């Protein structure tokens, strides 16, 4: 029964999805969106990110977590200091119906002290996907923004050392 429920949930989450062509969002301003952290706090994106720079690691599919983890590990290993948030951005009506189950599943796999840094977009998930494009959905969208929501750096082709070095250069060049 548990396997059936899992398969049904996977089917529902992947149904009714719209594909958006990948975009180059460098220099654009992130649209206003609202999400909820795993700590159950409402977060307004980008207005609640009021530091000089903030890094958003956006995932559209569960498999994007592998890419996001590689980015987070690399940032840690290179001692790159930047405020980073994981942003699962899920589109469609069915995921919203299972929001509680999805969030509880994520909480089981993420240490409680990190819950504030995971902000899920349900109602505005499609807004984020349309803004960046969602082709190759297993790749994280790496978005560095300033405190006004302007995109200072964007990358969506999967983790690589070269891409990490480009992100680090953008972080170090950003105004503090």
* Per-residue pLDDT reduced to its tens digit, 151-172: 999 999 999 999 999 999 999 9
pLDDT of residue 91: 81
Q: Where are the domains of the chain?
A: 27-173
Class of domain 27-173: alpha beta
pLDDT of residue 106: 64
Residue 175: pLDDT over 50:
yes
**How many C-beta atoms lie closer than 10 Å to residue 70's C-beta?**
15
The predicted-structure confidence for 70-122, as pLDDT tens digits, reads as follows 999 999 999 999 999 999 998 855 444 455 555 655 667 677 788 898 999 99
Q: Give the span between the Cα atoms of 117 and 56, in whole angstroms.
A: 10
The predicted-structure confidence for 68-81, as pLDDT tens digits, reads as follows 999 999 999 999 99
Q: Give the span between the Cα atoms of 101 and 107, in whole angstroms.
A: 10
Contact 55, 43 (CB under 8 A): no
């Amino acid at each position: 029964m548990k396997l059936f429920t899992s398969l049904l949930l996977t089917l529902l989450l992947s149904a009714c999805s719209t594909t958006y062509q990948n975009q180059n969002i460098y220099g654009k301003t992130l649209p206003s969106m609202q999400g909820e952290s795993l700590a159950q706090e409402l977060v307004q994106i980008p207005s609640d990110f009021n530091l000089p720079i903030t890094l958003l690691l956006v995932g559209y599919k569960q498999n994007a977590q592998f890419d996001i983890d590689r980015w987070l590990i690399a940032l840690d290993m290179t001692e790159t200091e930047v405020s980073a948030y994981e942003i699962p951005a899920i589109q469609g009506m069915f995921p919203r119906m299972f929001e509680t189950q999805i969030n509880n599943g994520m909480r089981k796999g993420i240490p409680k002290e990190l819950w504030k840094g995971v902000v899920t977009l349900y109602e505005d998930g499609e807004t984020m996907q349309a803004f960046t494009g969602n082709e190759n959905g297993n790749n994280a969208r790496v978005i560095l923004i300033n405190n006004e929501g302007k995109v200072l750096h964007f990358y969506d082709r999967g983790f690589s050392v070269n891409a990490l070095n480009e992100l680090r250069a953008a972080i170090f060049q950003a105004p503090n």
